[in-house]
């Protein structure tokens, strides 16, 4: 009875009614406890980041106030100027580090998304000799971290003459299975009927992948871009890249962070920059992900 009523009213009333229904299994007490829990952990999560933010704008004198305050009385940009002076004292110009980061992040992210999704499509949508084994291997490969294979990887890299080149950090990342796995799982949900009709039109698997599957998988590859971007952004090169001119920005910045309480200001300024970039990327793409998730509901 109520259902008929609902359908006769406008969209807003319908939304309201749906919401009421959704709330059916919720109690006030439960809501309260869970909101408090959410708030408490939110504070725990935010607190160190807030500390970085505040410290980055604290003048030197305020860093040594006892007990440390969570606000800043006389915000200053001095820490950022100090940072600029320190960086200008380096042998390698800042632009070079930025360039390295752009190359590594760009190629790494692009490579992961392209090669990963290209390999994911046949594995997700077709059965052919070897496909079952390959799918199984991908899952097993997720189960150990790259730190286990770091030493042999180093030996292979040096055999191939790739140590101290961009390739040394790019190739292992691009060959990571996480991206492929996420893409594959997303692609499995694409209705077969869509691919079938393209096949009748004479398209081969690559054309189907490029023209039909990739546009449908936008949320998945945006997620992949976020993940590989943040991974590449944090790369310091380690032992795989040792030349100062080839090191990425995060390497230099992380050098500046270690240095005790008296360098808190500069270290916080650096950390703030390191945090803001991936967070900004996430904010931009998160809305995109939510949007595409909401509109691109794939139903059989």
Partner 1 sequence: MAAKTLDSKKTDTPVYRETFGAVLKKHKYKYLMILPFGLIFIVFTVLPVVIAIAFSFTDFDMVNNPNFIGFTNYISLFVEDDIFLIAVKNTLFFAIVTGPVSYIMCFIFAWLVNELPRIPRAIMTLVFYAPSISGNAYLIWKILFSSDSYGWANAWLLKLGFTNDAIQWFATAGYIMPILVIVQLWLSLGVSFLTFIAGLQTVDKSLYEAAAVEGIRNRWQELWFITFPSMKPQLLFGAVMQITSSLSVSQLSIDLVGFPSVDYAGHTILTHLHDYGNIRYQLGYACTIAVILFFIMMLCNILIQKVLRKLGE
- Residues 61, 77: Cα–Cα separation, whole Å: 14
The 8-class DSSP code of residue 10 comes to -
- Of residues 152-171, which lie at the interface with partner 1 (CB under 8 A)? 152-153, 155-156, 171
CA dist 147 to 139, 141, 247, Å?
17, 13, 20
Nearer to partner 1, 91 or 128 (CB): 128
| By CB under 8 A, residue 150 contacts partner 1 | yes
Nearer to partner 1, 246 or 248 (CB): 248
| By CB under 8 A, residue 279 contacts partner 1 | yes
| By CB under 8 A, residue 234 contacts partner 1 | yes
- Of residues 89-108, which lie at the interface with partner 1 (CB under 8 A)? none
| By CB under 8 A, residue 178 contacts partner 1 | yes
Q: Please give the structure tokens belonging to residue 204.
A: 């081969």
Backbone phi, psi, residue 59, to 5°: -70, 160
Q: Give the nearest distance from C-beta 240 to partner 1 in angstroms.
A: 11
Q: Give the nearest distance from C-beta 220 to partner 1 in angstroms.
A: 9
Among 108, 125, 214, 247, indicate the residue that binds partner 1 (CB under 8 A).
Answer: 125
| By CB under 8 A, residue 244 contacts partner 1 | no
Q: Would you call the peptide bond into 53 cis, given omega within 30 degrees of 0 as the criterion?
A: no
Give yes or no for a contact between 49 and 275, defined as CB atoms under 8 angstroms apart.
Answer: yes
| By CB under 8 A, residue 38 contacts partner 1 | yes
- Residues 230, 241: Cα–Cα separation, whole Å: 19
Give yes or no for a contact between 68 and 55, defined as CB atoms under 8 angstroms apart.
Answer: no
């Amino acid at each position: 009875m109520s259902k008929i009523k609902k359908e006769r009213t406008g969209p807003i009333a319908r939304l309201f009614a749906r919401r009421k229904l959704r709330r059916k299994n919720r109690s006030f007490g439960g809501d309260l406890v869970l909101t408090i829990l959410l708030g408490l952990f939110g504070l725990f999560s935010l607190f160190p980041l807030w500390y970085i933010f505040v410290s980055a704008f604290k003048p030197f004198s305020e860093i040594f106030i006892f007990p440390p305050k969570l606000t800043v009385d006389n915000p200053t940009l001095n820490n950022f100027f100090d940072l600029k002076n320190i960086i200008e004292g380096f042998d390698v110009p800042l632009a070079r580090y930025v360039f390295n980061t752009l190359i590594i992040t760009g190629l790494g992210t692009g490579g992961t998304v392209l090669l990963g999704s290209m390999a994911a499509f046949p594995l997700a949508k077709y059965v052919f000799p070897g496909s079952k084994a390959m799918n199984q291997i991908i899952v097993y490969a997720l189960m150990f971290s790259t730190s286990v294979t770091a030493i042999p990887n180093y030996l292979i890299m040096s055999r191939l003459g790739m140590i101290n080149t961009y390739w040394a950090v790019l190739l292992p990342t691009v060959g990571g299975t996480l991206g492929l796995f996420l893409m594959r799982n997303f692609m499995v949900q694409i209705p077969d009927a869509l691919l079938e009709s393209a096949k009748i039109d004479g398209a081969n698997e690559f054309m189907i992948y490029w023209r039909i599957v990739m546009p449908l998988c936008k949320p998945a590859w945006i997620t992949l871009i976020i993940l590989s971007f943040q991974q590449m952004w944090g790369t310091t090169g380690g032992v795989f890249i040792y030349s100062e001119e080839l090191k990425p920005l995060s390497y230099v910045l992380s050098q500046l962070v270690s240095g005790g309480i008296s360098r808190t200001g500069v270290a916080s300024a650096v950390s703030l920059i390191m945090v803001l970039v991936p967070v900004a990327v996430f904010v931009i793409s998160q809305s995109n992900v939510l949007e595409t998730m909401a509109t691109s509901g794939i139903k059989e």
